[in-house]
Structure 1
Amino acid sequence: MDTPPSNNQAPATLQELQECITQRHEQLSKRLQQVARFVLEHPNTVALDTVAVIADQAGVHPSTLVRFASAFGYSGFSEMQSLFRQKLVEHTTSYGERVRLLKQSDSSSVVNSNTILQEFVQGNSLSMEHLPDMISARQLDEAVELLASAQAVHVVGLRRSFAVASYLVYALRHIDRRVHMIDGNGGMLEEQASVLGEGDVLVAISYSPYAAETSSVVHRAHERKVPIIAITDSKLSPLVPLAKVYFDIKEADVRGFRSLTSTLCLAQTLAISLAYKLEQQEGRSSGRFDPPAQT
């Protein structure tokens, strides 16, 4: 049986609900854990669709959604759903309309390269528009402060995350930071992770299904008390409990292929924000971030 909220009061805001779900995730039954992951990862779907559609996409019976809402103190699923809708209303009306249009696009239409391009553009545009709401100024400031004070920055990101990790290493090297890529090249993952030490910072990037190798490096860093900046896609990611700062990024999902646009934008923001911070601290002239010349 699922344990009711300790204070017997339903969370009053979406943020409170998300935090409560994260804290109580391990106490929930397997079915409710399945719902928990879905509502955290697909807030717009929960806001816009019917119980039947949400249940179908989450892979559960509609009654499971009702039980989930009840487990967090709500009288029914619609009461909990209203929190997701309120959050969506804070965005522009056009944003909500475009989300629904994107979801209701005619799947029977002829698929060609231009169709796929339009879908990726729409999906990435929505994700990018939503990005400022996924990230707080406090999170950015804390992450930049960690990067600025680090003796060395280590970056790990494998599989789909590799492109973002590679870009971040590239960008940090252009602002004269000591940065090391942990990529396991030549089967040297453990050896690369072994140099993590006091005064360093680890940036770990991982998306579902989370790479076991990345998790291993994160645990090693945590054991050595190395601060971790996690970039991931869910508050239930295995990186989150061990991170000093974490970013929960919801990327566009088009025809089963998830984008990296918003995550790359975050990586770029961190690198350039760090460049400005170091310039202010050290009194250097503008232009610290020194990208290669355009050709």
Structure 2
Amino acid sequence: MSQTPQDFSSLEERITSDYPSLSRRLQQTARFLLDNPQEVAFATVAQLAQQAGVTPSTLIRFSNSFGFSGFSEMQQLFRARLFDELPNYNERIHAVRTATGETPDSTQLLWEFADANQEALSQLPNRINSQHLERALDIFEKARAIHIMGARRSFVVASYMSYALHHIEKPAFLVNGLGGMYSEQVKAIDHEDALLVVSFAPYAQESRNVAEEAHRRGIPLVVITDSNLSPLVPLADVALLVHEAEVKSFRGLTASLCLTQTLAIALGMRQDKALDRQRSSDDAGNA
């Protein structure tokens, strides 16, 4: 049994290679999907079925034939393609409006983003492995200092983590690549320190380079990412997986910020508990 495609390129190759063996209706569906990837990324099953001249069940059957549990799972690969090819927000907005024929008002958008982020937050505790969370805190507690790196969209999460760590008086350094000096900043990380890298698909090359260098040097590495298939997972001592909300090809950061806030405050509580133990020990010694 062939493996389910994990990205758009793999899916495109599978559709092309399997095309001769598909039924006439599925061939018609394949042609439409590959000829109109932008529309497929955003439109509903009903809209796409009408445009392709097939029934909605045909689209679902097509996605099942390539190993997907449903059409929406396959549609995610088409959306991921646009994340890579349309990094500019104006281009992405135009793509959404062109594909759906819709221009939602601001209140409607606010409700959509609020609902999606609320759902992502409600799922977060069940998605995070509690043992991995404690292991990440063990690494941070032991570290002399914590270095944090997040490029592009992930920079928001990394900068907040740096801010929070400073407020619990944990030495923290933001690996920001100022002047293009990512490599030099990584070289400054001591083996008694720890590194946190935050990166989501399509995984910034700068983040991958920093994680690879840290792994090569044996620096304790915690990553916050979005999938076990992330290239950062094999490099990490601990990987915390976050599923963010997505509305019309725009992904949020609410769950990731919640996770970093949890890490910082939980670390602060550990530090405070350690201080209490130290005070009790000192008092006992002075008695």
CA deviations 1:68-106 (Å, max 9, x no partner) are 37xxxxxxx69xx9xxxxxxxxxxxxxxxxxxxxxxxxx
Instruction: Tell me if structure 2 keeps the 8 A contact 1:119–1:254.
Output: yes
Please state how far the C-alpha of 1:169 moved relative to its aligned partner.
0.3
Q: What's 1:266 paired with?
A: 259
- TM score, norm. by length of structure 1: 0.63
Q: Deviations over 1:177-196 (max 9, x none)?
A: 11111111122211111112
What corresponds to 1:204 in structure 2?
A: 197
Listed one character per residue, the Cα deviations across residues 80-138 of structure 1 (whole Å, up to 9, x for unaligned) are x9xxxxxxxxxxxxxxxxxxxxxxxxx77761111111111100110001111111221
Give the AA of the match of 2:181. M
| Pair 1:229 & 2:222 matched | yes
Flag the 1:113–1:214 CA change in 2: closer, same or farther, 3 A: same
Equivalent residue for 1:245, pick from 220, 238, 257: 238
Q: Secondary structure at the match of 1:283?
A: helix
Structure 2 CA distance for partners of 1:2 and 1:254, relative to 1, 3 Å: closer
- 1:78-97 matches, within 5 Å, as none
SS in 2 for 1:263: helix
8 Å contact from structure 1 (residues 151, 178) kept in 2: yes
Distance between the aligned counterparts of 1:182 and 1:63, measured in 2?
A: 45
Counterpart amino acid of residue 238 in structure 1: P
**Match for 2:238: what amino acid?**
V
Contact kept? 1:153, 1:203, Cα under 8 Å: yes
Count of residues in correspondence between the two structures: 211
Structure 2 partner of 1:183 = 176
Asked whether the 8 Å contact 2:148–2:175 carries over to 1, the reply is: yes
Give the greater-gyration-radius structure (CA).
Answer: 2
Structure 2 residue 84 is the aligned partner of structure 1 residue 68? no
In structure 2, how many angstroms separate the alpha carbons of the residues matched to 1:110 and 1:212? 34
Unpaired segments ≥5 residues, structure 1: 4-20, 36-48, 70-76, 82-106, 286-295
Q: Distance in 2 between matches of 1:210 and 1:274?
A: 27
> How far does the alpha carbon of each residue in 1:221-276 deviate from its partner, in whole angstroms, 9 at most, with x for none?
00111111110111111111111111111111011110000000000000000000
Task: Say which of 120, 128, 132 aligns to 1:139.
Answer: 132
Give the AA of the match of 2:138: E
Structure 2 residue 11 is the aligned partner of structure 1 residue 31: yes
Match of 1:117 among 110, 115, 120: 110
| CA–CA separation in structure 2 for the residues paired with 1:173 and 1:33 | 48
Residues 129 and 240 in structure 2, CA contact (< 8 A), matched pair in contact too = no
Tell me the residue number matched to 2:269. 276
Structure 2 contact 208–231 (Cα < 8 Å) conserved: yes
Which one-letter code corresponds to 1:164 in the other structure? V
Conservation of the 8 A alpha-carbon contact between 1:32 and 1:64: no
Percent of aligned pairs sharing the same letter: 37
The equivalent of 1:14 in structure 2 is none
Q: Distance in 2 between matches of 1:208 and 1:221?
A: 20
Q: Do the aligned partners of 2:224 and 2:241 also contact (CA within 8 Å) in 1? A: yes
Deviations 1:165-216 (A, max 9, x none): 0000000011111111111112221111111221211100011111000100
Aligned residue type for 2:203: Y
Match of 2:22 in 1: none
Higher helix share: 2
Cα distance 1:135–1:32, how it changes in 2: closer, same or farther (>3 A)? farther
**CA 1:211 to 1:277, structure 2 compared with 1: closer, same or farther past 3 Å?**
same
Question: What's the Cα RMSD here?
Answer: 3.3
Structure-2 change in CA distance of 1:229 and 1:129 (3 Å): same
Whether 2:155 is the aligned partner of 1:156: answer: no
Contact (CA 8 Å) 1:32, 1:68: kept in 2 or not? no
Aligned partners of 1:61, 1:197: CA distance in 2, in Å?
Answer: 52
Q: Return the alpha-carbon distance in structure 2 between the equivalents of residues 62 and 229 of structure 1.
A: 40
For the residue of structure 2 that corresponds to 1:226, the secondary structure is coil
